[in-house]
Every structure is written in C-alpha cells, then in structure tokens.
C-alpha cells in the first residue's frame, strides 16, 4: 500500500488528521512532527522521501502567528514559502501528490460576496502574503497538487478561538468581541475528513480549492454561540475592529464559495453551527 507523509503532525490539523484516520481506519499514514520532519531541512526531507517514496504528502506545517509575523517576516517566509517549495520539489521528483493548506488571509476582504478560487488575491498581512507565496511556488515543481484554502480553524486540539473563549468565559464576567469581521469557522475535524477523502478516493482533480464549513458569522456571534452551547454565563459585548487594534490587518469579509470543493472533491460540507455543536459535545465529554 502507498504511504502518505504528514508534516506538522503535532499541530491542530495534524492531530485532527490522526483522530479521523483512526476513526476511519485509514492505513499507511506517517505522522511527522517537526523533530522528525522539518520542512526547512532539505537533506532530512530528501531522506524521508527516499525511504517512503510517498504517494501523498500533506503539509500541515506553517507559521500561523498572524501578528508576530509582522515582525518575523523572514521566519514566516522561510516556513510558509521556502518550506513548501522544498516539499513541492521532492513531490515533483517522486510523482507524489502534494496537499497544501492555505488560508482566507490571501484576500483583502473588502468585498461582500463569497470568494471564488478565481478571485484576485491581495493579502494585507505578512502572514497572508507568505501563505500566498507558498501557493505560488508549487506549480514550478509539480502539477499534482491540491491547495486547500481554509478559515477560522478550531477543534478539540491545540490552541484556537473556541478553547480561548471557553477559558476566558470561565475567568471573566464580560468579554468584548469583534462583530464587523465576517467569515466562516471551520471545524478542523471536517477539513481533515476532506483531506482523507481526497486520498481514499485517489482524486485526480488537482488544483486550488476553498474549504470551510457552510454559512457565515462574525467573531462576536461565533463567541455567543460557543457560550450558549456551553452554558457559560459571561456577558458578551460587540465591538468594532477599530476598538481592538492588532499589529496585522485582518480581512473584514472572507466568506469562501465551496461549490468547487463539493463538486470536484465529492465532499459534503456541514454548516458551522452543526460542527460547532459536535466539537462542544466532544470537549464536554472529555472533561
């Protein structure tokens, strides 16, 4: 059976892939945390590809500290662009299918219609720019790739908005949350399921895709839904972006159109509210 290498396995999406793969019984997945598979170590990567000759390579490794990236441009670019290029080059040599995870931050977020894969990119942060550069370096080395842009990832694993809100909701009487940034939360378990479906069906519809959950919301309404499902008695106050200045500028509207993913990849995409309920039930059960 052919092997799949998963880089960045200790992060949120990597852990979700391990969870879903165990549920499905997906075989021959090699999970590589940074110590076992550093995407900046060309010699180490070459040895891994020579050893496993993988049919698929999933890159979950990324620099994701959005505000910190404004000061650490070189490091963000090394990981989000150069590391991707290292993988793409080896995927081209071995005929390996590369599955790269990207972001809604490649868009400026100034519109009000769901974003298509063909819409113009215009990143407004270092993070968004370096992730777009990572998308762009792939095609020079291989045409056997899937780039999946996603947004607002959360799960039971690692640090994310849902777990942060639950923690702060227990500690404080009032929380101020931005209401004028609109997008779609994505349950990383659902995204992991989409990735494994690509592998299990040996899908050949290569290219760029948008994948988030269905629907749209603001960060404020997302937080309110979290507190309602967890019966957390915290007062939630809606504020404008201008009232919560950050180093990096965020897209104000980053809802993505998923028609292509549903049609070409054959995946059913749950609504964000249904997936949030599932995540909250799992978090509660784990306590």
Taking each helix axis from N to C terminus, what angle separates 219-230 and 272-286, rounded to the nearest 10 degrees?
40
Q: How far apart are CA 124 and CA 164, in angstroms?
A: 25
Whether 162 contacts 226, CB under 8 Å: yes
Catalytic residue from among 56, 63, 94, 127: 127
Nearest to 155 by CA among 272, 24, 254: 272
CB count in 10 Å sphere of residue 78? 15
* Nearest partner of 9 among 34, 28, 27, judged by Cα: 34
Residue 161, C-beta contacts closer than 8 angstroms, at least 6 positions apart? 152, 154, 185, 219, 222, 223
Within 78-150, where are the H helices?
83-94, 126-138
Cα dist from 10 to 34, 42, 62, whole Å: 8, 20, 11
Active site residue 127: yes
Taken in order 182, 132, 97, 33, is the CA torsion positive or negative? negative
HSE on the CB side for 75, CA within 13 Å? Answer: 9
Active site positions, annotated: 127
């Amino acid at each position: 059976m052919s092997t799949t290498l998963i880089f960045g396995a200790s992060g949120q999406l990597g852990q979700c892939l391990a969870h879903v793969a165990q549920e499905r019984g997906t075989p021959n997945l090699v999970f590589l945390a940074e110590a076992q598979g550093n995407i900046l170590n060309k010699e180490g990567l070459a040895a891994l590809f020579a050893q496993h000759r993988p049919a698929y390579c999933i890159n979950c490794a990324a620099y994701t500290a959005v505000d910190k990236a404004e000061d650490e441009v070189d490091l963000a670019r090394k990981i989000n662009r150069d590391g991707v290029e290292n993988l793409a080059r080896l995927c081209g040599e071995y005929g390996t299918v590369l599955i790269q995870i990207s972001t809604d931050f490649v868009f400026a977020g100034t519109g009000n219609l769901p974003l298509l894969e063909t819409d113009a990119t215009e990143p407004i942060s270092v993070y968004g720019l370096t992730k777009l550069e990572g998308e762009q370096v792939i095609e020079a080395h291989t045409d056997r790739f899937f780039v999946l842009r996603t947004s607002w990832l959360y799960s039971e694993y690692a640090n994310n908005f849902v777990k942060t809100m639950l923690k702060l909701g227990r500690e404080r009487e009032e929380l101020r949350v931005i209401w004028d940034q609109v997008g779609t939360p994505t349950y990383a378990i659902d995204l992991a399921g989409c990735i494994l479906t690509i592998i299990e069906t040996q899908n050949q519809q290569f290219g760029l895709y948008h994948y988030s959950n269905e629907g749209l919301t603001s960060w404020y309404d997302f937080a309110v839904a979290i507190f309602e499902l967890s019966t957390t008695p915290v007062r939630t106050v809606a504020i404008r972006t201008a009232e919560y200045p950050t180093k990096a500028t965020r897209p104000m509207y980053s809802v993505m159109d998923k028609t292509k993913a549903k049609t070409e990849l054959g995946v059913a995409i749950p609504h964000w509210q249904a997936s949030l309920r599932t995540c909250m039930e799992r978090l509660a059960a784990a306590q």
